[in-house]
Structure 1
Amino acid sequence: HQVDKRHETIIDPYAAESPAEFFAVLSEVFFELPLITQQHFPSVYEQLALFYRQDPAQRWR
């Protein structure tokens, strides 16, 4: 909805192109900006932590 309304987004708006792109973009942000991912997409963060068997936000705490 934010992309359609041309609002600024927290992640790359390309993530809205398809579910596969959302997964790819969120995976990148999960590792590069884990605290932002955890704050703004907590349920996705939990799923990615299970999927990748890592908790990158733990390194920043």
Structure 2
Amino acid sequence: MVPLILVLLLALVLFGAGFALKALWWIALIVLVLWLLGFVARSSGSGGRKGRWYRW
């Protein structure tokens, strides 16, 4: 009975980790798209050159 519970627990942990990793991939993809859009939509700075849209 104990090995069956351990196998089910392991499957549950791996399923949870897989879901979390998939969610993190979607978040990373959204951040990447926003970052690329920031380069396209950045405003002009002084002297007509493009300025940075971020502070750092």
TM-score by length of 1: 0.28
The answer to which structure has the higher helix fraction is: 2
Rg bigger for which structure?
Answer: 2
TM-score by length of 2: 0.30
